[in-house]
Structure 1
Amino acid sequence: MDTGNLRKRIAVIGSGFSGLSAAAYAAKSGNEVHVFEKHDQPGGRARQFRTEQGYVFDMGPSWYWMPDIIEGFFSDFDYKVSDFFKLVSLDPQFEMVFSEEKISVPEKNDEIRELFEKTEKGAGKKYDTFMQSAQFKYEVGMKDFVTKPCYNWLEFASLKIAGSALKLDLLSNFRKYVSGYFSDPKLRSLMEFPVIFLGASPQNIPALYSLMNYGGYVLGTQYPMGGFYQLVLGMKDVAEKQGVTFHFNHEVKKINTENGKVVSITANDKDYEFDAVIASSDYYHTETLISKSLRNYNDAYWKTRTFAPSCLIYYLGIKGKISHLKHHTLFFENNLDDHIDCIYKNKKWPAKPLFYACCPSKTDPDIAPEGCENLFLLLPLTPGIHDEEVVREKYLKEMLERIEKHTGETDLISRIEYKRSYCVSDFISDYNAYQGNAYGLSNTLSQTAVLKPKIRNKKISNLFYTGQLTVPGPGVPPSVISGKIVAGEVNKLKIK
């Protein structure tokens, strides 16, 4: 890597996955790196908290997919994931509950193939064909396509990417692509579900993202013992080993510029001078820290973007065990498109919602008191919606009733020992998230690659952006990649 002509003093705003990644890679190249985090711990949306009763809750991400991407981060610094935490492979990977039946997705790929064949005659062979194509997209997409800074389309003119353009299925939509392989609605739902993480309807997501199916189902669903926060702690440890300094409880209130350059940042009423700034904070919010004339995008631009959902989350400590509930369970008894329309078209609370339940105490006994369950519930919502407590409680009651129907348990609400809700307004107050979005920008075709917000400020030469609102997009592995991309660009910066 070109590290420029001098050791640089770099500020990173925010310590989510992209910030941790950017800090570690920038410091590895010999720069002096300081991370400013408004909270008292690292992780951003992936923070963790403990209760007096002994429950340990991951606040955000819970699906450990694309393990090779995460392993790649640690190997870049001559470490292994196992140096920092223990991974357990989940079997089943997850369960999907439909109105009349449920499907458990097994750990092993050949057993998934058998499940498809059992559900729809001939679907086993089609599953193999689907995953062969998905593997190709994963290997080209995650190793080449998403690693570009995306200043312009010429970056994608390499023989490997250009020659693979048709096979990457960039111009076909995911729903049509899946329906070309499978007829059974349950199998279609199984294949469509992973792209919900990308924040849009399967009708508006490029078929390229079948790579998610490979990165999840074939590579497997894993869990870091101690919670997803172990990944945060591992990345922070790596960053510190490179010399990164962390400043917690330091909220950046202003980015100070002179003559088209950042000269300092203001945090806790004190100015800190830097040669470059990497903002892992919300992109829109970051731009409110500079004058309007220097911003990449105005308010009108952001209003025209398609954002991934926000969500209603409940962190629940439940007395006693919940039988017949898996580590990951997707409650898909209702129509997916109806819920998606409430997010993107109607912009209202869903009448018949889908939701996700994570019960990590099924795998990890240390995150709940003995004989109790740690339960995380998540219901996707349209960003910006009003989320008063009475409405939150209404949906909690419905989610618990559906869990009771699925498991045969009774009166779960009376067994709640700890309860905390988290919704749109909390994403705004805690993360300055635009309209309280939880996952960044949707990966629609019109918001892919070069069409995403740029990683570099066009008028301030030493201000850069990283994270889920820029390239490559939402999700933990893409955020880790985003940090690496930006660190590489900052390393090329020449100091005058």
Structure 2
Amino acid sequence: MDQHQQQTRVLIVGAGTGGTAMAARLARRGMAVTVVEKNEFVGGRCSLIEKDGFRFDQGPSMLMMPHAFEQTFADLGCQMSKVLDVRKCKTNYKIHFPDGDNITLSTDMTAMKDELERIEPGSFDGYLGFLREAKYHHDKSFSMVLNRNYKHWWDLVTIENAIEACKLHILSTVWNRTKTFFKSDKLRKAFSFQSMYMGMSPYEAPGAYTLLDYSEATDGILYPMGGFNTVIKAMESIAKSNGATFRYSCPVKSIIVDQPSKLATGVLLENGEELRADIVVCNMDLVTAYSRLLPPTQITRSILKKNQSCSTISFYWGLDRKLPEDAFHGHNIFLAQDYKPSFDAIFKDHSLPESPSFYVQIPTRVDAAAAPEGKESVTILVPIGVLTDAMTPQLMQALVARARAVVIENMQKRIPGCNDFEKWIESETVNTPFDWEEKFNLWNGSALGLSHEIMQVLYFRPQMRHEVFGNVFFVGASTHPGTGVPVVLCGARILEDEIAGVLAEGNGFKHQKLFGVFGYELAMSMTVFLALVSAFVLAVAVDMGLGKQVVIKAL
């Protein structure tokens, strides 16, 4: 580390996954790091709810893509296995269909063959084909997206990227990819709901997102003992060991900027205290940060108009008894009767579906310490649309009551022996979109930040570096590369390299953009143009009989 980096003062706004990872990375480089966090705990959405002896993961509960976590801890100078006790779940999910049937997904290919063939004879060969394609999506996404930054439009608009875009099926959808390999409606649903991890409908999510299915099939789903928050606490510990300071219950009012120099000079806390810094890294929800912490710029309006993902109504129930293990695994999905209309209600109507799908997590299946002996901790996530101007707290309470009734009715009707399920609930906590917005500054209560549609990823996603104030950087779900804990960890790695590169330039954080704020619009135009050219070239190739089957398959 050089002398310049040793003297660099860094303020990080927010101690979520991205903020804590950046604190650990930059402190390890010898920078003077201070993290300010509005809540009294580390982790943001990756925090815990502890009540009446029960422990719940407030947000993420599945450790997926473990290599992203392992890489993070390796970069921080340790092995993940030395600082975390991570256990693999026996199965990935138990999926419950509306007709009472169910299927168990796992990494056991023998068991998977039996399950798939039971529902659709001959489908296992289709499943293997589906995984081969998903593997390509997974591997290319890591190399092209999760390990690269797209700072300029010319990073995106290349012939190579256009060819890969076809192979990655970005113009197809997750649902259409499942239709290619499965005839059964049940199997199509079983391998498409995963797009909700990105906060998207499988009927809208680009086909490349089947990469999640590949990760589940090969790595499985893991769980950190003690709850997901232990992952963030481990990074916090590493950051502190390298000199970083964490200040909790310190909400930020604004990022202080000097307009003549186009640089941030620090942050203003809500208590009136000013903290000075050479670099500000913002881990607050990006849309909220642009709206509340920073002066408006030409990009601000564009960011405020971008599409959000979805929100959730989350129930955290402590039960007075154990649930039947054959009916409930660690992770369970109850699929809606009206599958497509349920997604339309969430993403088009921004409401609660009449017949919602929902997710049930039971941490005690892996970690018995999550509940008192003989009892059960159960977390229920019911997807719902983001907040709109028409939504009020009173209307939300009515939706919460309906969601609660739907979940309990499904439990009691679909699962034998659970007729009195509602009576078993002895402890209850609820998070609504209003709570997500208030607790974690999530814009309109969007649990997963900005949506991941094609025109909101790569260069089209808000940049990691502010377009005007050159020493303000962003990390988290709504900047590149996107949402999800492993993806945000990859983003922190990219941002560390970005900051190190800017410091190495030695130009005082001055921007050197050829096209400024117009680069965004130019990139869109160039991308559309390149897509048309690519389509023409492919059409000519087909007309000439050159690799017709390969071209058709790529499309």
Counterpart in 1 of 2:77?
78
Instruction: Answer yes or no: is the 8 Å Cα contact 2:5–2:30 preserved in 1.
Output: no
* Structure 1 letter corresponding to 2:381: L
Residues 135-146 of structure 1 correspond to what in structure 2 (within 5 A)? Answer: 135-146=135-146
Q: How far did 1:463 drift?
A: 0.6
- Verify: 1:65 aligned to 2:64, yes or no: yes
Q: How far did 1:7 drift?
A: 3.4
TM-score normalised according to structure 1 size: 0.94
RMSD between aligned residues: 2.2
Q: How far did 1:154 drift?
A: 3.2
Q: Structure 1 residues 406, 80: closer, same or farther in 2, change over 3 A?
A: farther
**1:2 and 1:480 mapped to 2: Cα distance?**
25
Q: How far did 1:460 drift?
A: 0.6
Please, which of 481, 488, 496 is the counterpart of residue 472 of structure 1?
481
Instruction: Answer yes or no: is the 8 Å Cα contact 1:3–1:492 preserved in 2.
Output: no
Counterpart in 2 of 1:128?
128
Q: How far did 1:128 drift?
A: 1.4
Structure 1 residues 172-212: Cα deviation after superposition (integer angstroms, max 9, x where no partner)? 22222221111101111111011111122222221111111
Name the stretch that deviates more: 185-194 or 481-490.
Answer: 481-490
Counterpart in 1 of 2:512?
none
SS, match of residue 169 in structure 2: coil
Instruction: Answer yes or no: is the 8 Å Cα contact 2:333–2:359 preserved in 1.
Output: yes
Q: How far did 1:392 drift?
A: 1.3
Please, which of 408, 420, 428 is the counterpart of residue 419 of structure 1?
428
Name the stretch that deviates more: 205-214 or 103-112.
Answer: 103-112
**2:83 and 2:160 mapped to 1: Cα distance?**
35
When you count helix as a share of all residues, which structure comes out higher?
Answer: 2
- Verify: 1:453 aligned to 2:458, yes or no: no
**1:214 and 1:88 mapped to 2: Cα distance?**
19
SS, match of residue 346 in structure 2: helix
Q: How far did 1:153 drift?
A: 4.1
Structure 1 residues 349-406: Cα deviation after superposition (integer angstroms, max 9, x where no partner)? 2211111111111221101011111010110010004453343133212212211223
SS, match of residue 44 in structure 1: coil
Q: Structure 1 residues 167, 2: closer, same or farther in 2, change over 3 A?
A: farther
Name the stretch that deviates more: 144-153 or 476-485.
Answer: 144-153
Q: Structure 1 residues 33, 131: closer, same or farther in 2, change over 3 A?
A: same
**1:66 and 1:60 mapped to 2: Cα distance?**
17
**1:146 and 1:199 mapped to 2: Cα distance?**
18
Counterpart in 2 of 1:357?
360
Counterpart in 2 of 1:8?
8
Instruction: Answer yes or no: is the 8 Å Cα contact 1:140–1:161 preserved in 2.
Output: no
SS, match of residue 409 in structure 2: helix
- Structure 1 unpaired stretches of 5+: none
**1:126 and 1:401 mapped to 2: Cα distance?**
35
Instruction: Answer yes or no: is the 8 Å Cα contact 1:27–1:243 preserved in 2.
Output: yes
**1:337 and 1:61 mapped to 2: Cα distance?**
24
- Verify: 1:328 aligned to 2:331, yes or no: yes
**2:109 and 2:450 mapped to 1: Cα distance?**
31
Name the stretch that deviates more: 120-129 or 57-66.
Answer: 120-129
SS, match of residue 23 in structure 2: helix
Counterpart in 2 of 1:94?
93
SS, match of residue 11 in structure 1: strand
- Verify: 1:317 aligned to 2:279, yes or no: no
Counterpart in 2 of 1:434?
443
SS, match of residue 452 in structure 2: coil
Q: How far did 1:443 drift?
A: 1.1
Structure 1 residues 291-330: Cα deviation after superposition (integer angstroms, max 9, x where no partner)? 54446312xx345322111110011111011113221111
Residues 218-367 of structure 1 correspond to what in structure 2 (within 5 A)? Answer: 218-258=218-258, 259=260, 260-267=262-269, 268-290=271-293, 292-294=295-297, 296-298=299-301, 301-302=302-303, 304-323=305-324, 324-367=327-370
Q: Structure 1 residues 160, 230: closer, same or farther in 2, change over 3 A?
A: farther
SS, match of residue 375 in structure 1: strand
SS, match of residue 204 in structure 1: coil
Q: Structure 1 residues 5, 372: closer, same or farther in 2, change over 3 A?
A: closer
SS, match of residue 313 in structure 2: strand
Q: How far did 1:447 drift?
A: 1.2
* Structure 2 letter corresponding to 1:441: L
Name the stretch that deviates more: 109-118 or 396-405.
Answer: 109-118
Q: How far did 1:469 drift?
A: 0.9
Residues 74-223 of structure 1 correspond to what in structure 2 (within 5 A)? Answer: 74-100=73-99, 101-156=101-156, 164-223=164-223
Instruction: Answer yes or no: is the 8 Å Cα contact 2:94–2:104 preserved in 1.
Output: yes
Instruction: Answer yes or no: is the 8 Å Cα contact 2:147–2:494 preserved in 1.
Output: yes
**1:295 and 1:316 mapped to 2: Cα distance?**
45
**2:300 and 2:314 mapped to 1: Cα distance?**
30
**1:248 and 1:295 mapped to 2: Cα distance?**
33
Name the stretch that deviates more: 64-73 or 171-180.
Answer: 171-180
* Structure 2 letter corresponding to 1:358: Q
**2:160 and 2:222 mapped to 1: Cα distance?**
31
Relative CO higher for 1 or 2, CA cutoff 8 Å, sep ≥ 6? 1
Instruction: Answer yes or no: is the 8 Å Cα contact 2:255–2:294 preserved in 1.
Output: no
SS, match of residue 96 in structure 1: strand
Structure 1 residues 150-189: Cα deviation after superposition (integer angstroms, max 9, x where no partner)? 2224335799867644322223222222211111011111
Name the stretch that deviates more: 375-384 or 222-231.
Answer: 222-231
Instruction: Answer yes or no: is the 8 Å Cα contact 2:254–2:294 preserved in 1.
Output: no
Structure 1 residues 241-264: Cα deviation after superposition (integer angstroms, max 9, x where no partner)? 332211111111111111210011
**2:49 and 2:477 mapped to 1: Cα distance?**
23
**2:38 and 2:296 mapped to 1: Cα distance?**
26
Counterpart in 1 of 2:407?
399
- Structure 2 unpaired stretches of 5+: 509-555
**2:311 and 2:227 mapped to 1: Cα distance?**
22
**2:399 and 2:348 mapped to 1: Cα distance?**
20
Q: How far did 1:12 drift?
A: 0.9
Q: How far did 1:139 drift?
A: 1.8
SS, match of residue 284 in structure 2: coil
Instruction: Answer yes or no: is the 8 Å Cα contact 1:109–1:218 preserved in 2.
Output: no
Structure 1 residues 425-454: Cα deviation after superposition (integer angstroms, max 9, x where no partner)? 101111111111101111111212111112
SS, match of residue 127 in structure 1: helix
Instruction: Answer yes or no: is the 8 Å Cα contact 1:97–1:333 preserved in 2.
Output: no
SS, match of residue 104 in structure 1: strand
Instruction: Answer yes or no: is the 8 Å Cα contact 1:16–1:43 preserved in 2.
Output: yes
Name the stretch that deviates more: 343-352 or 91-100.
Answer: 343-352
**1:390 and 1:5 mapped to 2: Cα distance?**
53
* Structure 2 letter corresponding to 1:262: A
Q: Structure 1 residues 9, 159: closer, same or farther in 2, change over 3 A?
A: farther
Q: How far did 1:47 drift?
A: 0.9
TM-score normalised according to structure 2 size: 0.84
**1:373 and 1:386 mapped to 2: Cα distance?**
33
